[in-house]
């Protein structure tokens, strides 16, 4: 796997430096293995059986059993083994951390206008475990909306807004994207929360969060502040590009490097 990162600045165009991440996209057949997986949240490494994926050191995975729901990173892969399968829990999901596309530096984030570069469907497994077979979601909406450029019209208390502002200041919005009118964000709190919304002609509607609050929450407010910042950046620098694609995705710099670079034991990084 190869990552290429380039930084350049052109004063005449007054555009931000570019950052380009490329990696070969490949789909390998599953290869049975016995793998060691490190769980940072518990500071422990355990062995699991894998028969669903072609796993390599550095891969981000999820497992069943008592550590289900915790993110793990593969530290060792063994193809020579003889085990009683009933003695082992299994790897049940693999996060796709291969990145291919063109990103631009935007403050604390990196932004792309290519749908295939970093779609929400890929990023969701970076931050949250896949839903279990017994998980059932229910989403409800009303007909309220508010202008993004006037968050005072958002139905939220001053205390919650202040907490959300602090989340925004601390860069807790790890990912945010808009595809057409559909918006999605991940905000880090006591856990990673998913925000969904619709954005149309400057108006926000159908705003929901996966946290337990029964009202507009600090995670939603933080995501809206980040959306304001990102769209302002796009308007100043890449308005034509956004109009052409109708899509953008922005990810926190440290999050991208943590998932796409850190922990991998093969590949190279080149600065130009």
* Strands annotated E in 107-229: 109-112, 145-147, 173-179, 182-188, 192-200, 203-209
* Distance, CA of 104 to CA of 72 (rounded, Å): 29
Q: What is the pLDDT of residue 137?
A: 74
Q: What is the pLDDT of residue 246?
A: 96
Tokens of 156: 């939220």
User: Partners of 208 in the beta sheet?
Assistant: 196
Burial string for 169-188 (b: 16+ CB within 10 Å, else e) reads eebbbbbbbbbeeebbbbbb
Q: What is the pLDDT of residue 248?
A: 97
pTM for the predicted model, two decimal places = 0.83
Chain centre to alpha carbon of residue 121:
9
Give pLDDT < 50 ranges for the chain. 1-26, 270-272
How many Cα neighbours within 13 Å face the side chain of 203? 8
Eight-state DSSP code of residue 166 = H
Burial of 142 (0-12, 13-18, 19+ CB in 10 A): exposed
Could you tell me if 233 and 111 are in contact, meaning their C-beta atoms sit under 8 angstroms apart?
yes
């Amino acid at each position: 796997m190869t990552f290429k990162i380039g930084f350049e600045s052109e004063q005449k165009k007054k555009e931000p430096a570019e950052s380009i991440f490329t990696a070969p996209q490949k789909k390998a057949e599953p290869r049975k293995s016995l793998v060691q997986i490190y769980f940072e949240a518990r500071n422990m490494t355990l062995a699991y059986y894998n028969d669903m994926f072609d796993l390599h050191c550095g891969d981000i995975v999820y497992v069943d059993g008592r550590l289900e729901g915790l993110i793990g990173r593969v530290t060792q892969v063994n193809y020579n083994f003889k085990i009683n399968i009933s003695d082992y829990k299994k790897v049940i999901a693999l996060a796709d951390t291969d990145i291919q596309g063109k990103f631009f530096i935007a403050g604390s984030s990196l932004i792309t206008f290519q749908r295939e570069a970093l779609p929400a469907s890929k990023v969701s497994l970076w931050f949250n475990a896949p839903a279990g077979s017994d998980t059932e979601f229910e989403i409800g909406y009303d007909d309220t909306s508010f202008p993004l450029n006037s968050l005072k019209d958002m139905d939220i208390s001053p205390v919650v807004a202040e907490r959300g502002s602090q989340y925004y200041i601390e860069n807790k919005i790890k990912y945010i994207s808009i595809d057409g009118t559909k918006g999605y964000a991940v905000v880090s709190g006591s856990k990673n929360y998913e925000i969904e919304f619709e954005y149309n002609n400057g108006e926000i509607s159908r705003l929901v969060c996966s946290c337990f609050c029964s009202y507009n929450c600090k995670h939603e407010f933080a995501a809206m502040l980040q959306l304001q910042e990102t769209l302002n950046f796009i308007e100043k620098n890449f308005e034509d590009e956004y109009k052409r694609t109708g899509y953008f995705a922005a990810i926190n710099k440290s999050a991208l490097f943590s998932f796409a670079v850190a922990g991998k034991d093969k590949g190279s990084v080149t600065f130009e």
